[in-house]
C-alpha cells in the first residue's frame, strides 16, 4: 500500500548534511549532497572508501548509527520527508517503502532461523496475511531464479552459497514492492561469475518491476553495467553527476578522470605505461574545507580552487561537474614517469621454481577434499605468473604449498633445480629468504603492537642477517625504495593508511632480497587509486631486482596488467596456462572465457556474457571426467563426463585442459563484431 503519487521522483535528496559525533565533535561526512532518482530509474553512487556513500544509504533508510545525525537538508521518498520519522511511522516507512541490501549477505540473514521463516517474515512485516505469506515466499524465491525454492526455504543460511544468500536477501528486499531499493555494494564479496549472475538478476528485476534503485559501489564497471545515471562522491560532496555513458566517456571532474585512469584497463600492461595514481589523501573526517574539496589533490588546482568552491556547473544533457576547469579535466596532465626497463625473461634458462604433480588433500569430516590436484608449472626469474580462479579453486593452496605453509600430499617443489623440503620449517634460511609473501590484508599482516621500524629491523635481521648500524642503513634504503615516509618508521601500523601499511608489508618481504614473492590479493583491500600506486611499486621493484611474482587476484584487469603468464585454476585443477595476452585474447579454455565475460568493465563490455549454469561443485565430490563439464557452456558430450582431458600444450607455451581442439575453440570464440555489446 505505497499509495504514492505516480509522478515526481522516487527519491529526492536535498542539500543533505550528515555528521557523526566523534570524540565530542561533530564531523561532517556529507556536505550538502543533492540528487534525485526518478521512478524506475537506477542511480549509481560511486566513490572511494570514506567518501560518504554508505552514510548516504543509511541516512535514506533512517538507519544512521547512534552518533550520526542529519544536520541539514531533507530526504524525500515519494514526495514525503523521511528525516526525523519516529516510532510507528518510521517502522511503517522501513517496512513498506524502502529496502536495503548490504554487502555481506551472510550477516544479513539470521543464522539460527530457516530461510523460509525469514522470507515469510519479510512478507508478514509488510502486511501480507500469514496464510498467504508462505506461498508468496516461494514465489519470491522463484522470482530471484532459485531453482529449488521449496528445499531452499527449509535450509539454514549457512547451507547456501554466498550468491544464493544474496538472492534470498534480494527476494526479501523486494517482498514489499518497495518504492526505493538501496543496494550497498551488493556483489563486492562475491566471485566474478556469481557477481555477474546477481547483477543480471538485479537488472532484470529492475526492468520487470520498475523499481527505483540506488546502487552504491566503488566499482565503476559495476555502475556502468547497472545504472543509467551516476553521481560521483568525494569527501561527502557530489562532484560530478550525469548519465553513466556520458560521465564515463567524457568525465568532467579531475577526480572522476583520476578514478578512471587508476584502473588497469584492457590492453595496458606493465611494460608499456604505468598506472596513474591520485596523489595525497582524502581530507580527514569533518575537516573544514573552504574551496573545492578536491583542490589539494588536483593537478589543475590553482588559487581560485582553494579559495572558492565551484558550483555544480551544468554541462550537456543533465551532466554536471563541480569544477572551475571542467573543460580541461579530460586533459588532466598524466603522471610523468619514464617507462620501465623490464628485464627480459629467458625461458630457455632453468626456471627459478618448478613444481611437479603438486596435490593437496584435506580430510574433512571423513571426506577427502582435493584442494589441489596434479599442478605443474615453473616460474622464471623476473616474471609474474598470475593465478586466477574463483574462491575454492585452490589458488591459495597452491601458493601455500610452494611456500611450505601447507604440506602437499603429493608432488615436489624445486628451487634452482634442487628439491625444497615440503614444510618451511625444514628449509634453510637461504631458501626461506628466497620465497616471501605479501598478504591481502595489511591490517592483520603487520603486528599491531610493533612499530614499523621494529617490524622491518626484525625482518632485516632474520632475512638479511643484519643488525646494528648496517641494519639501520638498509632500513632507510628499504623505506626509500617503497616510498615510506621516514616519519612512518616510528609509528605503529594503526597510525598508517591502508596504502602505507601495504608498503610496509612489501618492504618486509623485500628485506632479504627475495627471488619469488607470492602476492596474495595484495590490492583487493585497497581503494583503486592506492591500488594503482602499489601495482606501480611492485613493477618497479621487479624491474630493479628481477624478482619473480606469483600474483593471485580475482581482479582480471589487475592480473592482466601485471602478469607475463597466467594460470587458471578451477576446482584445484589447472585448466589453462599461457602468456597473458594469449589467455586473455583467446582462444581460451571455456572456463576462462566465462570468467572473462563475467567482469563488468567501464567501457561497457565488448564481450558477450557467457552464463555459467549452477554453482561451483564441492571439491569433496568433484564431477567425473572434466571437472568443469557440469557448468561448461561448450560441453561436447559424454566424453567430457567420462574422461578428464590432459593439460596439453596446444601452442608454444600455451597449455589447455579441454577436449575441444584448439582450432575449434578458435572458431567458436571468434570475436563478435565490434558494435555488439554484451547484455
Partner 1 sequence: MSVAPLSPAELHAEARAARAERRRLLLRSPGVLIGAAVLLFWIACALLGDRITPYDPIFDQSEDVFASPSAEHWLGTDRLGRDVFSRVLAGSRDILLVAPAATLLGTALGTALGLLTGYLRGIVDDVLSRLIDAVLSLPLIVIAVTAIAALGTRSATTVVIVIGAVFAPIIARTVRAAVLAERELEYVRAARLRGERAPYVMFVEILPNVMPVIIVEATVRLGYAVFAVASLTFIGFGIQLPSPDWAVQIADNYQFVDPAWWTVLFPAAAIASLVIAVNLVSEGLQQAYER
Residues that bind partner 1 (CB under 8 A): 23, 49-51, 54-55, 65, 281-285, 403, 405, 424-425, 429, 432-433, 435-437, 439, 441, 444-450, 458-459, 462-463, 485, 487-488, 491-492, 494-500, 505, 508, 511-512, 527, 530
| Residue 372 · residue 406 · CB < 8 Å | no
- Alpha-carbon span 526 to 255, nearest angstrom: 17
Q: How far is the CB of 98 from partner 1 (least distance, A)?
A: 19
Q: How far is the CB of 431 from partner 1 (least distance, A)?
A: 10
Q: Smaller CB distance to partner 1: residue 405 or 543?
A: 405
Q: Smaller CB distance to partner 1: residue 127 or 279?
A: 279
Tell me how far apart the terminal alpha carbons of the chain are, to the nearest angstrom.
34
Q: Smaller CB distance to partner 1: residue 437 or 595?
A: 437
* Torsion angles phi and psi, residue 656, rounded to 5: -135, 145
Q: How far is the CB of 405 from partner 1 (least distance, A)?
A: 7
Q: Smaller CB distance to partner 1: residue 50 or 572?
A: 50
Paired strand residues for 321: 240, 313
What interhelical angle do 498-509 and 528-545 show, nearest 10? 20
Residue that the C-alpha cell 542529519 belongs to:
70
CA-based max dimension of the chain: 78
Q: Smaller CB distance to partner 1: residue 51 or 223?
A: 51
Q: SS3 breakdown of the chain: % helix, strand, coil, rounded to 5?
A: 35, 20, 45
Q: How far is the CB of 146 from partner 1 (least distance, A)?
A: 31
Secondary structure class of 453 (helix, strand, coil): helix
Looking from the CA of 590 toward its CB, the CA atoms found within 13 Å total 23
Q: How far is the CB of 278 from partner 1 (least distance, A)?
A: 11
Residues 6+ apart with CB under 8 A from 87: none
Q: Smaller CB distance to partner 1: residue 168 or 500?
A: 500
Q: Smaller CB distance to partner 1: residue 181 or 484?
A: 484
- What b/e string do you get for 607-645 counting C-beta neighbours within 10 Å, with b at 16 or more? bebbebeeebbebeebbebbbbbbbbebbeeeebeeebb
Q: How far is the CB of 494 from partner 1 (least distance, A)?
A: 6
Q: Smaller CB distance to partner 1: residue 505 or 655?
A: 505
Cα R_g (the chain), whole angstroms: 26
Q: How far is the CB of 324 from partner 1 (least distance, A)?
A: 25
Q: How far is the CB of 555 from partner 1 (least distance, A)?
A: 19
- Alpha-carbon span 47 to 52, nearest angstrom: 8
**Strands, DSSP E only, in 380-425?**
384-388, 410-415, 418-419
| Residue 60 · residue 98 · CB < 8 Å | yes
Q: Smaller CB distance to partner 1: residue 20 or 43?
A: 20
Q: How far is the CB of 511 from partner 1 (least distance, A)?
A: 8
Looking from the CA of 78 toward its CB, the CA atoms found within 13 Å total 15
Which residue, 192, 198, 260, is CA-closest to 224?
A: 260
Q: How far is the CB of 259 from partner 1 (least distance, A)?
A: 15
Q: How far is the CB of 285 from partner 1 (least distance, A)?
A: 5
Residue that the C-alpha cell 591490517 belongs to:
443
If DSSP states are collapsed to H, E and C, what string results for 129-193? CHHHHHHHHHHHHHHCCCCCHHHHHHCCHHHCCHHHHHHHHHHHHCCCCCCEEEEECCCCCCCHH
Which residue, 562, 611, 615, 606, is CA-closest to 586?
A: 606
Q: Smaller CB distance to partner 1: residue 387 or 566?
A: 387
| Residue 246 · residue 43 · CB < 8 Å | no
- Alpha-carbon span 274 to 268, nearest angstrom: 8
- Alpha-carbon span 134 to 121, nearest angstrom: 9
Q: How far is the CB of 524 from partner 1 (least distance, A)?
A: 14
Q: How far is the CB of 463 from partner 1 (least distance, A)?
A: 5
DSSP 334: P
**Pairing label, strands 367-379, 98-101:** unpaired
Q: Smaller CB distance to partner 1: residue 289 or 616?
A: 289
Sequential DSSP letters for 367-378:
EEEEEEEEEEEE
Q: Smaller CB distance to partner 1: residue 24 or 366?
A: 24
Q: Smaller CB distance to partner 1: residue 185 or 195?
A: 185
Q: Smaller CB distance to partner 1: residue 81 or 447?
A: 447
Q: How far is the CB of 478 from partner 1 (least distance, A)?
A: 14
Amino acid at each position: 500500500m505505497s499509495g504514492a503519487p505516480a509522478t515526481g521522483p522516487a527519491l529526492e535528496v536535498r542539500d543533505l548534511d550528515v555528521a557523526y559525533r566523534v570524540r565530542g565533535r561533530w564531523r561532517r561526512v556529507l556536505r550538502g549532497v543533492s540528487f534525485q532518482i526518478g521512478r524506475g530509474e537506477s542511480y549509481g553512487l560511486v566513490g572511494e572508501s570514506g567518501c560518504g556513500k554508505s552514510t548516504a544509504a543509511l541516512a535514506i533508510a533512517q538507519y544512521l548509527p547512534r552518533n550520526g545525525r542529519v544536520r541539514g537538508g531533507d530526504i524525500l521518498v515519494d514526495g514525503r520527508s523521511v528525516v526525523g520519522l519516529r516510532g510507528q511511522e518510521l517502522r511503517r516507512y522501513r517496512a513498506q517503502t524502502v529496502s536495503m541490501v548490504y554487502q555481506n549477505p551472510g550477516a544479513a540473514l539470521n543464522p539460527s532461523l530457516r530461510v523460509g521463516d525469514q522470507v515469510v517474515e519479510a512478507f508478514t512485516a509488510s502486511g501480507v496475511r500469514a496464510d498467504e505469506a508462505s506461498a508468496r515466499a516461494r514465489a519470491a524465491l522463484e522470482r530471484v531464479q532459485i531453482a529449488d525454492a521449496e528445499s531452499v526455504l527449509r535450509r539454514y543460511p549457512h547451507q547456501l552459497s554466498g550468491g544464493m544468500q544474496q538472492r534470498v536477501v534480494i527476494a526479501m528486499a523486494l517482498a514489499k514492492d518497495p518504492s526505493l531499493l538501496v543496494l550497498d555494494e551488493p556483489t563486492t564479496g562475491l566471485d566474478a561469475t556469481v557477481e555477474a549472475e546477481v547483477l543480471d538478476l538485479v537488472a532484470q528485476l529492475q526492468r520487470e518491476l520498475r523499481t527505483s534503485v540506488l546502487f552504491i559501489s566503488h566499482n565503476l564497471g559495476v555502475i556502468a553495467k547497472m545504472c543509467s545515471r551516476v553521481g560521483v562522491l568525494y569527501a561527502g560532496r557530489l562532484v560530478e553527476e550525469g548519465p553513466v555513458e556520458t560521465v564515463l566517456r567524457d568525465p568532467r571532474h579531475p577526480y572522476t578522470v583520476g578514478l578512471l585512469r587508476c584502473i588497469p584497463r584492457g590492453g595496458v600492461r606493465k611494460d608499456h605505461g604505468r598506472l596513474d595514481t591520485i596523489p595525497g589523501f582524502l581530507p580527514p573526517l569533518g575537516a573544514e574545507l573552504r574551496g573545492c574539496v578536491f583542490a589539494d589533490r588536483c593537478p589543475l588546482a590553482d588559487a581560485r580552487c582553494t579559495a572558492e568552491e565551484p558550483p555544480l556547473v551544468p554541462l550537456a544533457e543533465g551532466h554536471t561537474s563541480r569544477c572551475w576547469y571542467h573543460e580541461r579535466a579530460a586533459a588532466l596532465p598524466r603522471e610523468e614517469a619514464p617507462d620501465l626497463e623490464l628485464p627480459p625473461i629467458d625461458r630457455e634458462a632453468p626456471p627459478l621454481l618448478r613444481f611437479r604433480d603438486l596435490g593437496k588433500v584435506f580430510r574433512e569430516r571423513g571426506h577427502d577434499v582435493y584442494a589441489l590436484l596434479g599442478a605443474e608449472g615453473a616460474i622464471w626469474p623476473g616474471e609474474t605468473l598470475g593465478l586466477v580462479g574463483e574462491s575454492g579453486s585452490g589458488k591459495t593452496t597452491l601458493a601455500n604449498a610452494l611456500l611450505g605453509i601447507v604440506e602437499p600430499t603429493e608432488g615436489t617443489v624445486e628451487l634452482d633445480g634442487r628439491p625444497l623440503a615440503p614444510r618451511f620449517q625444514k628449509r634453510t634460511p637461504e631458501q626461506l629468504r628466497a620465497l616471501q609473501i605479501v598478504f591481502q590484508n595489511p591490517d592483520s599482516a603487520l603486528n599491531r603492537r610493533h612499530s614499523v621500524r621494529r617490524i622491518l629491523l626484525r625482518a632485516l635481521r632474520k632475512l638479511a642477517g643484519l643488525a646494528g648500524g648496517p641494519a639501520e642503513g638498509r632500513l632507510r634504503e628499504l623505506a626509500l625504495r617503497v616510498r615510506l615516509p621516514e616519519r612512518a618508521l616510528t609509528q605503529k601500523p594503526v597510525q598508517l593508511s591502508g596504502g602505507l601499511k601495504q608498503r610496509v608489508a612489501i618492504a618486509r618481504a623485500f628485506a632479504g632480497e627475495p627471488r619469488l614473492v607470492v602476492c596474495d590479493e595484495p590490492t583487493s583491500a585497497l581503494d583503486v587509486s592506492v591500488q594503482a600506486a602499489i601495482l606501480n611499486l611492485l613493477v618497479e621493484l621487479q624491474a630493479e631486482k628481477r624478482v619473480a611474482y606469483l600474483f593471485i587476484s580475482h581482479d582480471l584487469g589487475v592480473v592482466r596488467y601485471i602478469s607475463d603468464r597466467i594460470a587458471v585454476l578451477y576446482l584445484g585443477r589447472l585448466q589453462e596456462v599461457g602468456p597473458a595476452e594469449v589467455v586473455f585474447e583467446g582462444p581460451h579454455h571455456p572456463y576462462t572465457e566465462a570468467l572473462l565475460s563475467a567482469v563488468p568493465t567501464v567501457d561497457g563490455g565488448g564481450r558477450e556474457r557467457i552464463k555459467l549454469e549452477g554453482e561451483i561443485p564441492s571439491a569433496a565430490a568433484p564431477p567425473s571426467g572434466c571437472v568443469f563439464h557440469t557448468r561448461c557452456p561448450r560441453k561436447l558430450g559424454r566424453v567430457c563426463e567420462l574422461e578428464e582431458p590432459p593439460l596439453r600444450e596446444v601452442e608454444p607455451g600455451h597449455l589447455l585442459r579441454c577436449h575441444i581442439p584448439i582450432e575449434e575453440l578458435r572458431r567458436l570464440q571468434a570475436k563478435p563484431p565490434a558494435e555488439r555489446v554484451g547484455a
